[in-house]
Amino acid sequence: MSAIAALQERFALPATLHFEAGENGLTRAVFTTPHAQAHLYLHGAHLTHYQLTGQAPVLFLSGCSEFAADKAIRGGVPIVFPWFGARSDDKSAPSHGFARLRDWDVASTTLHHDGSATLELSLAPDQASQKLWPASWEMSYRVTVGATLHLELSVRNTSDTALHFEDVLHTYFVVGDVHRVGVEGLGSTEYLDKTDAMQQKRQNTDPLHITAETDRVYLNTRATCVIDDPDLNRRITVEKRGSDATVVWNPAQDKASKMADLCDDEWPRFLCVESGNIGPHAITLAPGATHTMSVTISA
Ligand code: TA6
């Protein structure tokens, strides 16, 4: 029996959730619920598509994304773990950690009374991850697709020593034109400006308008953010729990032109509003403890 047939037999939810070969033959789960459709690849437990019936897609997916075993998918919701960005002590280590490069296992599927569905996936260390980051841990990721999108990422420390890590749900949102949206919720918030040698600054305006390459790690914020999009005539709400940092990123023309997995004309049509625990907000987990971060997206 093929791997997909085995997943179908164990976890498919008739008329709501099935497994199939997606881009480049990578296995994906396809959600079809009364309110929304979604795709999630087992590669990286990477949610690549979420679309409410009758609306433009909420998640951006690059048309030039490589769906390769050793590459992260460009767009959707990459899972960043156990470090954010480049590893300071190992330049050869993959950017944003290894969780988004690994094939995750399906743990369970659940159909709810309102027609929404939850897919739970799990990840544990393997030889490759142990070489990069020798630690004992277990991750679970629960994705609930319905009138809202609910993402819940848990990390459990299965060792007898403290576990120190960063985690981010690095969400790419579709926008009509990044120059015309406003991001609400980060006014008066301190941030590290990655476009200006990580200078710590304070955002005095609310909403934030994107006028150039923007790459900011906002600190000490549990705020709900809203992307107000006049072109698509919608407001995307990003609510979070268990996260003290928010990242806002758009590469603009110059950086985008250097990204092989982003097509030339795509960069004005996405904005990343990312929820996580980075730098001063990295997590230190006691032995046996679990940390859960959740994000609820509505449009
Ligand atoms: O979250 C913003 C950021 O850290 C940017 O600096 C940029 O590197 C982006 O992530 C994408 O990183 P990636 O490794 O997916 O190309």
- Would you call 49 a catalytic residue per the annotation? no
User: What is the spatial distance between Cα 47 and Cα 3, in angstroms, rounded to a whole number?
Assistant: 20
Ligand 1 neighbourhood includes 72 CB (under 6 angstroms): yes
Contact 297, 171 (CB under 8 A): yes
Mean pLDDT of 45-55: 98
Residue of 238, 255, 256 lying closest to 247 (CA atoms): 238
Mean pLDDT of 150-154: 99
- Would you call 274 a catalytic residue per the annotation? yes
- 115, pLDDT greater than 90: yes
Contact 222, 240 (CB under 8 A): yes
Q: Which helix (H) or strand (E) holds 80?
A: strand 79-80
pLDDT in tens, 207-247: 999 999 999 999 999 999 999 999 999 999 999 999 999 99
Q: Which helix (H) or strand (E) holds 11?
A: helix 3-11
Q: Which atom of ligand 1 is nearest to the CA of 74?
A: 15
pLDDT in tens, 31-44: 999 999 999 999 99
Ligand 1 center to 154 CA (angstroms): 22
User: What is the spatial distance between Cα 113 and Cα 109, in angstroms, rounded to a whole number?
Assistant: 14
Contact 152, 133 (CB under 8 A): no
Q: Which atom of ligand 1 is nearest to the CA of 247?
A: 1
pLDDT at 180: 98
Average pLDDT, the chain: 98
Active-site hit among 170, 239, 266, 291:
170
Angle at 298 between CA 292 and CA 299, to 5 degrees: 160
pLDDT in tens, 241-284: 999 999 999 999 999 999 999 999 999 999 999 999 999 999 99
Ligand 1 neighbourhood includes 279 CB (under 6 angstroms): no
- 13, pLDDT greater than 90: yes
pLDDT at 164: 98
Residue of 70, 57, 123, 140 lying closest to 101 (CA atoms): 70
% of the chain beyond a pLDDT of 90 = 100
Q: pLDDT-based confidence at 88, cuts 50/70/90?
A: confident
pLDDT at 252: 98
Mean pLDDT of 141-145: 99
pLDDT at 182: 98
pLDDT at 197: 98
User: What is the spatial distance between Cα 295 and Cα 299, in angstroms, rounded to a whole number?
Assistant: 13
